Amino acid sequence: MTDIRFDNRVAIVTGAGGGLGRSHALLLASRGARVVVNDLGGSVDGSGSGATRAADQVVQEIRAAGGEAVASYDGVDQAESAARIVKTAVDAFGKLDIVINNAGILRDVSFMKMTGDDWEKVLRVHLYGSMYVSQAAWPELRKNGYGRLVFTTSAAGLYGNFGQANYSSAKLGIVGLAKTLAHEGQKYGILSNVIAPIAKSRMTETVMPPEMLEKLSPEFVSPVVGYLSSERCGDTAQIYAVGGGYVSRVAIVEGEGVGFKGALTVEGLAERWAEVNDLSRARPMANATEAAGQAVRVALSS
């Protein structure tokens, strides 16, 4: 089997000073990509900045192994700073092909106790940050007629999790963003996919037991990022759960549905509620138009 490589490709990895981002950056660089290692250098809760050693150390690791990389210390949560991350790639390497939206923070707190700042900061880094960096990169990818976007969601975003209303909301928002960019980018050769990783990082160290973290090395996640970033990948608008050697496609599905003749009443709905909830013949939808089409078709056929 031919090796998957990234020679002549330029990649940005956000939040790449440690954990998953560092692992992604090292893998891409080891296979020939020229990498912008972006990390603000802040704490897990998003406070502080300027601890640039993290990005610099990863750049040094890549260069010591014979790869090419530059550091970026800009935050992702503002349009201006996100644009500087993309400019760093273009100034250093002349173009941009791959964007790995990985940067994130945690401010876990029960919904009752959550402040507006807790909500705003988490959404700005995860959701706004993914949007700002991707939007700044978009003209470069379109100009190339080629691009790979990999976004980062989580099980909390897909299924919800106690104490993470802010994080879960941001992470599911990222799925909607990534799927829409998949549709908008396909005719330009831009593919957009999402990973839902579980791995040892600064963020998971606070919520997972050490014995579990030992089995969840970031290096089990990065090969999926590598494949989704490659020319060999043809998938787009997909979500993949990955961690500890486990990889699985995740799909948002819709049941076959129920069509009601005449007026829909609360009582009539109650009588057929089990049918409404039936997912035995559920399937994923390619886009919003297909989903709307099923609803109209079932309604008209009843």
* CA gap 163, 287 in Å, rounded: 31
Q: Indicate if 167 belongs to the active site.
A: yes
Question: How far, in Å, CA of 170 to CA of 122, rounded?
Answer: 7
* Helix (H/G/I), strand (E/B), else coil: 217: coil
Secondary structure (3-state) at 250? strand
Q: Shortest CA distance to 53 belongs to which of 35, 34, 64, 40?
A: 40
Q: Which of 73, 128, 167, 240 is catalytic?
A: 167
Closest CA to 237 of 170, 174, 159: 174
According to DSSP, residue 263 is labeled S
Residue 282 in contact with residue 253, Cβ under 8 Å?
yes
Q: How many CB atoms lie within 10 A of CB 277?
A: 9
Q: How far apart are CA 78 and CA 36, in angstroms?
A: 18
Contact in structure between 71 and 52 (CB atoms under 8 Å) = yes
Active site residues: 167
